[in-house]
Amino acid sequence: MKDKLIIFDTTLRDGEQSPGASMTRDEKVRIAKALERLRVDVIEAGFPAASEGDFEAVQAVANSIENSTVCGLARALDNDIDRAGEALKGANSRRIHTFIATSPIHMQQKLKMSPEQVIEYAVKAVKRARQYTDDVEFSPEDAGRSEEDFLCRILEAVIDAGATTLNIPDTVGYSVPHEFGATIAHLIERIPNSDKAIFSVHCHNDLGLAVANSLSAVINGARQVECTINGLGERAGNAALEEVVMAIKTRHDVFPCETSLDTREIVTCSKLVSSITGFPVQPNKAIVGANAFAHESGIHQDGVLKNRETYEIMKAEDVGWAANRMVLGKHSGRNAFKSRMNELGFQFSSEEELNDAFVRFKQLADKKHEIFDEDLQALISEVSTDNDEENVKLVALKVCSETGETPCATVTIRIGQDEKTGSATGGGAVDASLKAIEALVKTGATLELYSVNNITTGTDAQGEVTVRLDKAGRIVNGLGADTDIVIASAKAYINAVNKLQSQDFRQHPQSGDV
Ligand code: KIV
Ligand code: ZN
């Protein structure tokens, strides 16, 4: 029997710390349900002390997940731990993850605390967390640049205080695989009570080594890996869940452990996270990129046709690519639509919401005859954002685009109860439309990113547009999908404007206080 490797997904916490990737409560619940279908062991749902909204999002995830453990992050502060404990009350299985920095540079410059004080805070935090749950994880932040002797001291002390998982983060992505693996082996060997806890790793990808470092740690005794879908996360991101899991599965001859994930759910999860956060997946990304299983050159194709193993080390269907098929069409009825939406993890809150979504589905099916799961995911995003809480709504858009003429757009939007119409010219139809909207809403924000991806294939595919706005350092991503990319762009811009208006203040967990 092989050991179990625990997969701890932090897409909803560290992933959400990527600029503009913040998610609403309902979006978090949808992703959490997809992660549960993927059978991840632990879902880190957020940092409850960040804001009221973050608290409610963690609470909503805790209340809607049955099989995975739901975790909340807390600094080594009483209030953070109490907020996490409260938010997780409704979970079937709950974990509190508390952390404090241990590297000389973080202790001196950020915390302004002595090593002794850091140990004192860590022990106190773990003891307090144990009052809410028996499942307590402790992380020495910036362990990758911490002194091994100090790590041994603090980790021994927190195990005695009741920590059951010790997570070793390479917070700034500084480590290299043989060195990081050796650190894990040394810690397990040197800490006298190390057998009382599971060793975990949390690697950042600043040098592109997050997955390699995580796997090296597994070979050296780590039995939990923290990772995110598509490698989302602070700066260059975290270790990509799909890469870690498929490496362990494909090279079972090398690794002493196995995961219990249903890998056929990987692609669906990847597309969902990408469409909710507005972070597209590059085509050559391992496992989940559009080209990951495409064989372009004649030589490769010939080999694959004779025997797939000549050039394929994994089966596309094992990670869920085969699921990319037509599921519904123009003639599909309301029940078929409702049940597929339910299978994708979306429950309608009322008959009215179902009717509204079904009307949108029929309109889409008129424009594009084959409706794929990806189209339904985009429709879910639209239904769930286009609600009464959205202050600004797109009412109508007309564009003129003609060779030799200056493109222009006339847009009508509703702001609260008022309808407003405005026109603008621009370098193209998209530029003119976004300028017309901005002239009406006057956010004053800077457009940091504009990107279009087709959701499925073909010229009738829906284009999914991501717009990133930055207003005085507050960054939001807006998303919009439509078979007409100018309309998709307008929807994305308006979505970003609504997010700018609604976002509450959030405390960043690693920003400076303890
Ligand atoms: O990267 C990091 O150190 C973290 C901790 C909060 C675990 O995300
Ligand atoms: Zn991190």
Structure tokens at 330: 């123009």
- 8 Å CB contact between 250 and 209: no
Q: Give pLDDT, residue 148.
A: 98
pLDDT of 386 reads 67
Residues in contact with 50: Cβ distance below 8 Å, sequence separation at least 6, in sequence order? 506, 507, 508, 509
Least Cα distance to 138 among 98, 85, 96 occurs for: 98
139 lines ligand 1 (CB under 6 A): yes
- Rounded percentage of the chain residues whose pLDDT exceeds 70: 95
The DSSP code for 240 is: B
Measured between alpha carbons, how far is 465 from 455 in angstroms, rounded to an integer? 10
Please give the pLDDT value at position 455. 82
Please report the pLDDT score of residue 324 as a whole number: 46
pTM of the model: 0.88
With H, G, I as helix, E, B as strand and everything else as coil, classify residue 150: helix
Q: Whose CA is nearest to atom 2 of ligand 1?
A: 171
How big is the chain by its Cα radius of gyration, in Å? 24
**Nearest ligand by distance to the CA of 238:** 2
Q: What DSSP assignment string belongs to 185-215? A: HHHHHH-TTGGGSEEEEEEB-TTS-HHHHHH
Class of domain 3-277: alpha beta
Q: Which atom of ligand 1 is nearest to the CA of 510?
A: 6
Nearest listed ligand to the Cα of residue 142 = 1
The CB of 16 under 6 Å from ligand 1? The reply is: no
Name the β-bridge partners of 7: 225
Q: What is the DSSP letter of 505?
A: P
CA–CA distance, 366 with 70 (Å, rounded to integer)? 41
Cα–Cα distances (Å) from 252 to 40, 181, 228, 258, 321, in that order, read 19, 18, 21, 8, 22
Gap from CA of 199 to ligand 1 centroid (Å):
15
Task: Quote the mean pLDDT of the chain.
Answer: 93
203 forms beta bridges with: 170
Atom of ligand 1 nearest to the CA of 169: 3
As assigned by CATH, the class of the 392-501 domain is alpha beta
Cα(228) to centroid(ligand 1), Å? 13
Verify whether ligand 1 is closer than 6 Å to residue 265 (CB atom): no
Candidates 202, 206, 508, 513: which one to mutate for ligand 1, based on the most atoms within 8 Å of Cβ? 202
Ligand 1 pocket, mutate which of 11, 18, 141 (most atoms under 8 A from CB): 141
Question: How close is the Cα of 477 to the center of ligand 2, in Å?
Answer: 21
Give helix 266-277 / helix 25-37 axis angle, nearest 10°.
170
Low-confidence ranges of the chain (pLDDT < 70): 295-305, 322-326, 386-389, 503-504
Output the DSSP codes for 314-382: S-GGGGTGGG-SEEEETT--HHHHHHHHHHTT---SSHHHHHHHHHHHHHHHHH-SEEEHHHHHHHHHH
